[in-house]
Structure 1
């Protein structure tokens, strides 16, 4: 059994490798070639916890992950977790992987993939980041290594000045990000919208990874009205888990004909009509394929700790 910690995962999962892993995950999911029960969602001491199993012909994976906003006061990341990778043939445990970094890398890679599909290029004039936590940092780190980016604008309630300094970006007010960015990665834990349609330009792509409950919103209705394509990781998952889908569908603001799984876009070679949105709540197949890819690369490079 191989144990892969945060540092080792960062070494193994460069942007190209990770984007390819989630691309395969979405393709398998939408073609029903991965078995993925709906995640078990728990409220533990008022915080969101998810148990996410899935399996393919090559691997079975289970991730236990949580989002604990009060961790910011403890100076530790708000997302914590672990991934267990097993053989579907022998039942052996193949690897145990740090869930925080794996989640951050696969989520960032999903956003990057959505932007590449929507923009049909690996060049971005202005990239906007909303948030300054772990996810924001990985979106920046991987995004800047994958895309050629002209400039980066970052806005958050706090800490964005430090993040901007680290990556040579501009720390700005939210409105400036919304008005000027070609691509926006929204990485907040906010329960009320931070993507406000009244400020957005006519042509844009947004990836929104927040709003994990039916009551929460990261995107307002004005934004929903503007978009031409509403991409999702899983129709089933967003219809059960995020207010960014549930509320506008129930109110009639979002028409279902605008909604398509990103795996369908990949499998059918579709062009994404902009302005566009990618709404992701995270699905188990992403963890499975990313963990399996990390395991295979680690074995090849001799990285990780072997535990009997």
Structure 2
């Protein structure tokens, strides 16, 4: 008996299904749904994987669809010149449980992560940014510079690397994007927002908190990692994309011993606004609800 075919999309095809303007809107909707309980997204399960890797299982369900993101992270792949992350996002019909499609997992993660940052810029700045700094020029920075080009064409963006050569190489690789790209090794002073995109164990951004300057932390996703310094955090209003996940994974906040009773979810700012006259830090750790939002976007185009 021939098995029924299921649409499987590779990385390039998945990216085409996830345009950033639509993805940002879908995540804003999912954020409200998640806060109200309309999306069920338990904390991710981490299982040991061979070769020192980990398998991450992240399901989420809503009235219309269910998704399951299953990805493997194998650090040793760097020595083999292979990506460290492989995996898929499977989408299922909410009425019948029938398989709908399979998306490329790393692509979904990269694009929905960048879309959450774009939602943060939209929510926590008074207007459109004129100058944004990206600290880090690795894989996460690629998704973010693509998102900035799609949402804020013409934006001035400074890419900050551990060396000027690395930053310049990143800029040259993305000259085709409609952005004013510059390379640097230090954070400029005339920026509206700074986004940290590293896996550093020590803070890469330690400047004093400043009203009107939005700090977005993306890269530190383990308790032992920290990109944003304690001084910045202690003087800022702190928002996170997912409070439950942040309590266990936001190393910046954990190491700074922040007052968790004062930490607000992004959904609160979307519903009630944010104190834009205060310094703001927006920390993201990811959530399966955002993967569900991405699947919704993809399915709209597939149909």
**Into which bin does the TM-score normalised by the smaller protein fall?**
0.7 to 0.9
Structure 1 position 224 matched with structure 2 position 233: yes
Tell me the residue number matched to 1:264: 268
The answer (yes or no) to whether the contact 1:211–1:244 under 8 Å persists in 2 is: yes
* Cα pair distance change 1:6/1:113, threshold 3 Å: same
CA–CA distance in 1 between the matches of 2:75 and 2:231? 27
Give the number of aligned pairs.
Answer: 290
Say which structure, 1 or 2, has more relative contact order (CA 8 Å, 6+ apart). 1
Q: Is the 8 A contact 2:30 2:289 kept in 1?
A: yes
Partner of 2:279: 275
Kindly report the root-mean-square deviation, in angstroms, between the aligned alpha carbons of the 2 structures.
2.1
Instruction: Report if the CA contact (8 A) 1:189-1:211 is conserved.
Output: yes
Determine the C-alpha separation between the residues in 1 that align with 2:17 and 2:126. 26
**How far did residue 72 of structure 1 move?**
4.2
1:1-308 paired onto structure 2 within 5 Å = 1-44=6-49, 45-121=51-127, 123-157=128-162, 159-165=166-172, 166-167=174-175, 168-173=180-185, 175-177=186-188, 179-198=189-208, 201-227=210-236, 229-249=237-257, 254-270=258-274, 272-299=276-303
CA distance in 2: counterparts of 1:271 and 1:41, whole angstroms: 36
**Cα 1:261–1:294, aligned 2, differ >3 Å: closer, same or farther?**
same
The corresponding residue for 1:302 is none
Find the aligned partners of 2:210 and 2:264 in 1 and give their Cα distance: 23
What is the distance in 2 between the residues matched to 1:49 and 1:172?
A: 35
Give the drift of 1:48: 4.6
Q: Compute the displacement of 1:22 (Å).
A: 1.2
For structure 1, which runs of at least 5 residues remain unmatched after alignment? 300-308
CA contact (8 A) 1:106 1:286 kept: yes
* 1:68–1:206 Cα change, 3 Å: farther
Cα contact 1:125–1:182 (8 A) shared by 2: yes
TM-score by length of 2: 0.88
TM-score of the two chains, using structure 1 as the length reference: 0.86
* CA–CA separation in structure 1 for the residues paired with 2:181 and 2:212: 22
Distance 1:46 1:156 in 2: 28
Are the aligned partners of 2:67 and 2:92 in contact in 1 as well (CA < 8 Å)? yes
CA distance in 1, matches of 2:126, 2:261: 22
Q: Which runs of 5+ in 2 are unaligned?
A: 1-5
Cα separation, 2, equivalents of 1:258 and 1:238: 13
Check whether the contact 1:117–1:272 (CA below 8 A) recurs between aligned residues.
no
